[in-house]
Amino acid sequence: MITQEDIEKYIQKIPPAPKAVQQTLKEIKEGDLLKAAKAAKEDLAFSAYLKELVNKPIYGFRTEVKDTGQIFGILGLSQSQQVVYNYLLNTLSPKKWSFFALNKRNFNDLQDHLSLSWSKILKYLEIKDKEIESSITLLPASIIVCEALFNEKKEEVDLIRSAKNLDLNTILKRLSGYTLFDISVMIAQKWEMDPKIIAIVKASSGIERVENKEIEKLAKWMHLLLFFILSQPQYIEAGLNDFIEFQIDFVSDIYEDFMEIMEIGENE
Amino acid sequence: MRAVVKNGIGVFHPQGFLDGNSVASLISVDDIEATLKLKVDMVLVSLKRVIFFNRNGLDQFVKMFMKLRQEKHMIIGFCDYDDRKYQAIKKFYAKEMNFSLFKTLTIAELFSNHFNNHNKTVLVWSDDKSQRAAMAIELHDRGHNPIVAQNLNDFQEKSENKELYDVVIENSYLGSMGEQIAARVTSNAVIYTVSEFLDTDIATQFNIEYHNNSLNVGFRLFIFDAYKVVSMNVHAVNFFAKLASSGAEYNATICFVGLSFDKIPERFKEEMEDSGILFYDAMDDVLGNKELLHELGAASAVAKKNQRMINKKIVSHLPQFIDAIVTTLEMMTNAKAIKEEVKIEKIILTQKENNLLASSIGFYDDMDGIVILVFPKNIAKKACELLIGEEVNDEELILDSLAELVNIVGGKLKTLLSDIKVNISITLPRTYDNMDDVLEVIGEKKGVQVDLKFDNDHFTFFLTR
């Protein structure tokens, strides 16, 4: 159904990050938002994306923000980096989704929901680290990979899943030896993302043991956040709720704190 | 979201956070309709991967449960939960719990009517005396050996010797049980337990799918355990007479054990006897008498009066059968299949029989027959790796996965045939670790034998009626 060869071909096809985006990231890393904005303006699609993004109601700005420099200024270093990574991931997402019932808009909404909730969590955990804040942006890569690899295999997947409750990550691992997270990591490496980002997202699958306690802790929060977001009706309807397996034991020790942050009442 | 069906039980596996909105999106009207069409006697929602739920979330499932129960008399409920979730559900539905709670799927399976799941020694504990009794009765009716703990101390003492029990039941609750008739298998006979007054409802309570499957896979003796039957009306008599006549094609025998005729008119008995139904006083009169068992057909599956042969209709759809099997196996093994030979004859197994495993599935409606897949053990292992997740040598586990695999083949076949307007229903799968059992089911019948090659391994499937 899906072989190692298919995956290698898929990875080969992934384009490198556009030059303007690479330059923007470089300037953000060096802490110069003005130069970052200048670099971003060089790529029209990228600057249009930035404008559309920050003017969404979810970002809560009262007046329309038009200038790229202004956008980066409002967002600050960490969020600017997140937004750039989100854009990169967007360049990889398909024009037309067929395996998942998604479209460009609700995929972007998913990215926004994840990013904003992740910021809330990091604030609670009192973590201020640009790379950790950006790590959430790589998480939806697993969804894009899934769409790319399984989009013509829906019937087969449905058949297998009619007999056994297997998630797509498990099916892929058993067929090819790679998990969706392994492939996301390959994409991140191709885009030269920070190793910390890669480590957190890889660990957030909840199925691999992690030595580094800080990475493990963040991975747990990320795993639970993903399932919290994927339990929302629009993502359930998109078929995302069970694309990977929820590792309930992995997150049990942070459950109470998570409920508090997300302001969810106990079972009642 | 669709239920995954195994061993006659359909299970939904939601994940994450369940509230009213999320469950409404999880279970659509189409999903409920599809569940109603399932050939299962139990539908459960697994809470294994649910970290949060509230009453509104569960209510959506309970609404579906009630529909399933009302229309299909299924056993319905939740399974796979911990103590925290169990207490929460009990609190939500304190006085109105019409569904069941099974701590694990294994516990739930004890209450289903599946071939492989009988004769288990089960330790039963509930702090509710009536629940303990209800569980013991239901388990007994399904051929298990329940041992009931009388109080918490007794349960704790008994459960220290876990090795004495196949399953320990606690934190479980039997709601309204399915009204389907319990079935179990012993000494090659299928035993159905019936009770109280039998009337027209018998037609909906009796799992005809299971019965047909039993006939298709070679069972010839069907016993109705009727000790608890008070009486029956003419509708029930007609039902049993029809059942006996339809089984005659397979040379099947139907008998009643322990039926008291105090309140049943004599003419009903005569009518049933005319249809070939036999009556015995005690179960031991049948099961303890080897000669009688042999005579009644329980010892052999081959003694059919009317050998049904492969027909043109099935042969004309051979491409769909081959397609369903080849694509499924290619998908499961990630290897290319090469068709070697197709022939119509009695099944010929060219490889060493002790190196083979098999699984079969019956189909009926627009056409009927049976597909038998014969695997060398190494292909069986390879084909099941996707389902099991690793290379295994546990034959029981491989056989279990072969049943899932043949189920996938059945599903694919159903889709391919429906594309050309041929409708079939599929029976439950059966597996074989012994080729003598396969040959016994097929008997002397001719069929279409297709030999395939995967890498360097040979695989055979046989299509017959």
User: Per-domain residue ranges for chain A?
Assistant: 4-261
Contact: A231, B16; criterion CB under 8 Å: yes
Chain A residue with CA closest to B403: the answer is A163
Q: What mean pLDDT is reported for chain B?
A: 84
Assigned domain for B373 exists: yes
Judgement on whether residues B268 and B142 belong to the same structural domain of the protein: no
| Lowest-pLDDT range of A88-102, B98-112, B154-168, B289-303 | B289-303
Are residues B192 and B321 both part of a single domain?
Answer: no
User: Which of the four pLDDT bands, split at 50, 70 and 90, describes residue A143?
Assistant: confident
Q: Which helix (H) or strand (E) holds A170?
A: helix A168-176
- Taking the CA of residue A45 and the nearest CA in chain B, the distance in Å comes to 35
Same domain, B238 and B216: yes
Predicted TM-score (pTM) of this structure: 0.78
A254 Cβ under 8 Å from any chain B Cβ = no
Kindly determine whether residue A231 and residue B15, on different chains, have CB atoms separated by under 8 Å.
yes
- What are the pLDDT digits (tens) for B288-333? 887 888 777 765 554 444 456 778 888 888 889 988 888 888 888 8
Does A4 lie at the interface with B, CB-CB under 8 angstroms?
Answer: no
Residues B327 and B355 in one domain: yes
Rounded to a whole number of angstroms, the distance from the CA of A11 to the nearest CA of chain B is: 20
Q: Is the pLDDT score of A67 beyond 90? A: no
A&B contacts, CB < 8 Å: 106
Within a domain: B233: yes
pLDDT for B222 equals 92
Q: Is residue B232 part of a domain?
A: yes
Same domain, B110 and B135: yes
SS3 label, residue B393: coil
* Closest among B451, B246, B222, B202 to B368, alpha carbons compared: B246
At residue A268 the predicted structure's pLDDT band, cuts being 50, 70 and 90, is very low
- With a cut of 50, say whether residue B100 has pLDDT above it: yes
Q: Do B74 and B199 reside in the same domain of the chain? A: no
Checking if the pLDDT of B440 tops 60, the result is yes
Residue A3 sits at the chain B interface (C-beta within 8 Å): yes
Q: Domain span at residue B70?
A: 4-169
Does some domain include residue B134? Answer: yes
pLDDT at B389 exceeding the cut of 50 = yes
Q: Which candidate from B14, B21, B53 shows the least CB-CB separation from A233?
A: B21
pLDDT surpasses 90 at B380 = no
Interface mutation vs chain B, best among A171, A227, A263, A267, most B CBs within 10 Å: A267
Q: So what's the pLDDT on residue B305? A: 43
- 3-state secondary structure at position B327: helix
What residue of B is the nearest CA neighbor of A157?
A: B331
Q: How confident is the model at residue B24 (pLDDT cuts 50, 70, 90)?
A: confident
Q: Cα angle vertex B111, ends B58, B247, to 5°?
A: 120
Q: Which amino acid is at B422?
A: V
CATH number at residue B21: 3.30.750.24
Say yes or no for a CB contact (<8 Å) between B51 and A265: no
CA angle B416, B432, B458 (to 5 degrees): 65
B449 and B350 inside one domain: yes
Is A104 or B177 the better-scoring residue by pLDDT? A104
Q: Minimal Cα–Cα distance from B403 to chain A, Å?
A: 9
d(CA A73, CA A131): 18
Q: Are residues B164 and B16 in the same domain?
A: yes
- Which of A 92-151 lie inside 8 A of B, CB atoms? none
**What CATH number is attached to the domain comprising B449?**
3.40.1550.10
CA distance A132 to chain B (A): 24
Say yes or no for a CB contact (<8 Å) between A175 and B18.
no
Domain count along chain B: 3
Hey, are the CB atoms on B328 and A159 less than 8 Å from each other? yes
| Residue B377 and residue B355 in contact, taking contact as beta carbons nearer than 8 Å | yes
Whether residue B9 is found in the same domain as residue B146:
yes
A176-180, A232-236, B46-50, B59-63: lowest mean pLDDT where? Answer: A176-180
Give all strands (DSSP E) within B73-120, no chain letters.
75-79, 100-102
Q: B291: burial class by Cβ within 10 Å (0-12, 13-18, 19+)?
A: exposed
**Res. B129: pLDDT tops 90:** no
Both B126 and B222 in a single domain? Answer: no
**Closest Cβ–Cβ partner in A159, A232, A268 for B22:** A232
C-alpha span between A171 and A180 (Å, rounded):
10
Give the distance from residue A158's alpha carbon to the nearest chain B alpha carbon, in angstroms: 10
**B205 and B269 part of one domain:** yes
At residue B367, does pLDDT exceed 50?
yes
Q: Kindly provide the ipTM of the predicted complex, given to two decimals.
A: 0.82
Please tell me whether residues B164 and B190 are part of one structural domain.
no
CB contact under 8 A, A264 and B15: no
pLDDT 10s digits, B231-268 = 999 999 999 999 998 888 778 899 999 998 888 898 99
Residue B431 vs residue B58, higher pLDDT: B58
- Identify the sign of the CA torsion B197, B198, B202, B205: positive
B114: confidence class by pLDDT, cuts 50, 70, 90: low
Domain membership of residue B305 (yes or no) is no
The closest alpha carbon to B223, from B288, B263, B277, belongs to: B277
Average pLDDT over residues B70-79: 87
- Could you please state the CATH topology (level 3) that the domain comprising A4-261 is classified under: Hypothetical protein af1432 (1.10.3210)
Mean residue pLDDT across chain A: 86
**Is residue A229 pLDDT above 80, yes or no?**
yes
